[in-house]
Amino acid sequence: MPQIRILTCPNFVNVNCDCEQAEYAILKSTPAEVLGKFRYIIIEFHPEPAGESVIEAQTKLKAAGFQLAHTLPNAHCPGFTSVFVRG
Protein backbone atom coordinates (compact mmCIF):
# COMPACT_ATOMS: atom_id res chain seq x y z
CA MET A 1 0.00 0.00 0.00
CA PRO A 2 1.28 3.51 -0.78
CA GLN A 3 2.54 5.50 2.17
CA ILE A 4 2.91 9.22 2.72
CA ARG A 5 6.00 10.39 4.53
CA ILE A 6 5.50 13.59 6.51
CA LEU A 7 8.20 16.19 6.04
CA THR A 8 9.22 18.66 8.70
CA CYS A 9 7.66 21.65 6.91
CA PRO A 10 4.65 22.72 9.01
CA ASN A 11 2.33 23.53 6.09
CA PHE A 12 2.28 22.86 2.37
CA VAL A 13 0.48 24.69 -0.40
CA ASN A 14 -0.76 21.84 -2.56
CA VAL A 15 -0.61 18.16 -3.34
CA ASN A 16 -1.22 16.64 -6.75
CA CYS A 17 -2.37 13.02 -6.68
CA ASP A 18 -2.30 10.99 -9.90
CA CYS A 19 -1.87 7.50 -8.51
CA GLU A 20 -3.60 5.16 -10.98
CA GLN A 21 -6.44 4.04 -8.65
CA ALA A 22 -4.31 4.22 -5.48
CA GLU A 23 -5.84 7.64 -4.71
CA TYR A 24 -8.68 5.89 -2.89
CA ALA A 25 -6.40 3.94 -0.54
CA ILE A 26 -4.18 6.99 0.00
CA LEU A 27 -7.12 9.20 1.03
CA LYS A 28 -8.62 6.47 3.18
CA SER A 29 -5.37 5.96 5.10
CA THR A 30 -4.30 9.62 5.42
CA PRO A 31 -5.28 11.22 8.74
CA ALA A 32 -7.30 14.46 8.62
CA GLU A 33 -4.48 16.33 10.40
CA VAL A 34 -2.14 15.47 7.51
CA LEU A 35 -4.70 16.56 4.91
CA GLY A 36 -5.08 19.79 6.90
CA LYS A 37 -1.47 20.72 6.12
CA PHE A 38 -2.48 21.44 2.54
CA ARG A 39 -4.42 24.33 1.04
CA TYR A 40 -5.14 22.68 -2.33
CA ILE A 41 -5.53 19.02 -3.23
CA ILE A 42 -5.71 18.08 -6.90
CA ILE A 43 -6.74 14.48 -7.51
CA GLU A 44 -7.12 12.52 -10.71
CA PHE A 45 -9.88 10.05 -9.89
CA HIS A 46 -9.67 6.86 -11.94
CA PRO A 47 -12.48 4.31 -12.23
CA GLU A 48 -13.29 3.02 -8.76
CA PRO A 49 -11.62 -0.25 -7.78
CA ALA A 50 -13.83 -2.82 -6.03
CA GLY A 51 -14.81 -1.60 -2.57
CA GLU A 52 -13.82 2.02 -3.16
CA SER A 53 -15.98 5.08 -3.75
CA VAL A 54 -15.46 8.57 -5.14
CA ILE A 55 -18.23 9.75 -2.82
CA GLU A 56 -16.38 8.40 0.24
CA ALA A 57 -13.16 10.07 -0.90
CA GLN A 58 -14.90 13.41 -1.44
CA THR A 59 -16.70 13.08 1.91
CA LYS A 60 -13.38 12.58 3.71
CA LEU A 61 -11.94 15.68 2.06
CA LYS A 62 -15.01 17.73 2.97
CA ALA A 63 -14.77 16.52 6.58
CA ALA A 64 -11.16 17.76 6.59
CA GLY A 65 -12.36 21.25 5.60
CA PHE A 66 -12.02 21.08 1.82
CA GLN A 67 -14.55 22.28 -0.72
CA LEU A 68 -14.79 21.00 -4.28
CA ALA A 69 -13.70 23.93 -6.45
CA HIS A 70 -13.53 22.44 -9.93
CA THR A 71 -13.86 19.13 -11.82
CA LEU A 72 -12.62 18.33 -15.32
CA PRO A 73 -13.06 15.15 -17.37
CA ASN A 74 -9.80 13.36 -18.16
CA ALA A 75 -8.86 13.66 -21.80
CA HIS A 76 -6.47 10.70 -21.85
CA CYS A 77 -8.19 8.06 -19.68
CA PRO A 78 -11.52 7.30 -17.99
CA GLY A 79 -12.17 9.33 -14.88
CA PHE A 80 -11.91 12.97 -13.91
CA THR A 81 -9.69 15.45 -12.09
CA SER A 82 -10.97 17.45 -9.14
CA VAL A 83 -9.53 20.48 -7.36
CA PHE A 84 -10.32 20.84 -3.66
CA VAL A 85 -9.61 24.00 -1.63
CA ARG A 86 -9.41 24.19 2.16
CA GLY A 87 -10.66 27.21 4.05
Residue 5 or 31, more confident: 31
User: Residue 42: CB partners within 8 Å, gap ≥ 6?
Assistant: 14, 15, 16, 17, 81, 82, 83, 84
Q: pLDDT-derived band of residue 11, with 50, 70 and 90 as boundaries?
A: low
Residue 11, helix vs strand vs coil: coil
Domain positions in the chain: 14-86
Q: Which residues pair with 85 in a beta bridge?
A: 40, 67
Q: Which residues pair with 66 in a beta bridge?
A: 86
| pLDDT tens column, 19-61 | 888 999 999 999 998 898 889 999 999 999 999 999 999 999 9
Pick the closest to residue 22 from 57, 66, 55 (CA basis). 57
Which of these CATH numbers, 3.30.110, 1.20.120, 2.40.128, 3.30.300, describes 14-86? 3.30.110
